[in-house]
């Protein structure tokens, strides 16, 4: 079992859902990014989903695009992200860590080297945002050789055949997208019939389901859990706090602490 498997077992025993924040590594810089991640963990985050800064993110809305730009303009690259991941893992040996990034970064220089570095840095899972299930095996096979769980996205318009493939292939967790479009805390509209996808994934014994896209309030966390999912991911709402406090790091950490505590509180059913 990896750390995600252990986490979901523990949460099930407590009748709790998971709250998982997302941030871009090295935003706005290496040291403040570590402070931010520390605050997320110590305020109650059950796991971390982290991104590498990238010039052409496909699923990210304006808020996370700006986070990527800040990190890149500050000169941070994948080597820095792996160094930061190693520092986080050393500080928090048990927290599950997932990466969400684009395939270009996995190919640099090769998938084998990328997943080896993930293993060395203590990463548990990797979700490649721009690789649909039909093309996932190329990456999944390499990931599993290095003990990394391949996570797949279940889109809101997935048909029965796609849902079945996702259930068979996703490990660690299954990422259920709330709606079509890009990430945004402002667009909180949820696609219709998510309950059907959740029922289908559970019937097929899929990996635990985490819902993302537009999750920005405790009320949304509670509503998602009533659908039967296992937890919620919030990215843009977290990154907006960072963006609003670039000149006041102490206030940034205080606001992140309050946000995570409220969101995790809502996940305690």
Give the residue numbers marked as catalytic.
49, 60
Give yes or no for a contact between 210 and 229, defined as CB atoms under 8 angstroms apart.
yes
Strands in 125-128's sheet, in edge-to-edge order, are 149-151, 125-128, 97-101, 48-51, 18-24, 231-234, 209-212, 174-177, 153-154
Strand partners, 19: 232
Helix orientation angle between 236-244 and 249-266, rounded to the nearest 10 degrees: 160
Helix spans in the chain (H): 3-14, 30-42, 62-73, 78-91, 103-106, 111-121, 137-145, 160-169, 194-203, 218-226, 236-244, 249-266
Interatomic CA distance for residues 74 and 117, integer angstroms? 23
Strand partners, 211: 176, 232
Give yes or no for a contact between 41 and 48, defined as CB atoms under 8 angstroms apart.
yes
Cα→Cα distances 217→24, 186, 268, Å? 20, 11, 14
For 181, which DSSP code? Answer: S
């Amino acid at each position: 079992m990896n750390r995600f498997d252990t986490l979901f077992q523990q949460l099930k025993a407590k009748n709790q859902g998971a709250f998982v924040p997302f941030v871009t590594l090295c935003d706005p810089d290496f040291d403040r990014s570590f402070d931010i991640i520390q605050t997320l963990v110590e305020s109650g985050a059950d796991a971390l989903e982290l991104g590498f800064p990238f010039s052409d993110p496909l699923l990210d809305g304006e808020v996370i695009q700006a986070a990527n730009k800040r990190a890149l303009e500050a000169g941070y690259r994948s080597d820095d992200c792996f160094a930061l991941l190693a520092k986080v893992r050393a500080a928090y040996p048990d927290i599950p860590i997932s990466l969400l990034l684009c395939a270009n970064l996995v190919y640099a220089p090769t998938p084998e080297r990328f997943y080896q570095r993930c293993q060395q840095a203590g990463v548990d899972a990797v979700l490649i945002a721009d690789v649909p299930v039909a093309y996932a095996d190329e990456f999944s096979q390499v990931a599993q050789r290095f003990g990394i769980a391949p996570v797949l996205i279940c889109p809101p318009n997935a048909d029965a055949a796609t849902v079945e493939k996702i259930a068979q292939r996703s490990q660690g967790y299954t990422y259920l997208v709330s709606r079509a479009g890009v990430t945004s805390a402002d667009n909180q509209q949820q696609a219709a019939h998510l309950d059907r996808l959740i029922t289908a994934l559970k019937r097929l014994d899929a990996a635990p389901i985490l819902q993302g896209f537009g999750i920005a309030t405790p009320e949304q966390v509670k509503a998602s859990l009533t659908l039967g999912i296992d937890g919620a991911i919030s990215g843009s709402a977290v990154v907006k706090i960072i963006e609003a406090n670039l000149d006041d790091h102490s206030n940034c950490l205080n606001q992140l602490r309050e946000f995570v505590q409220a969101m995790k509180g809502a996940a305690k059913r």
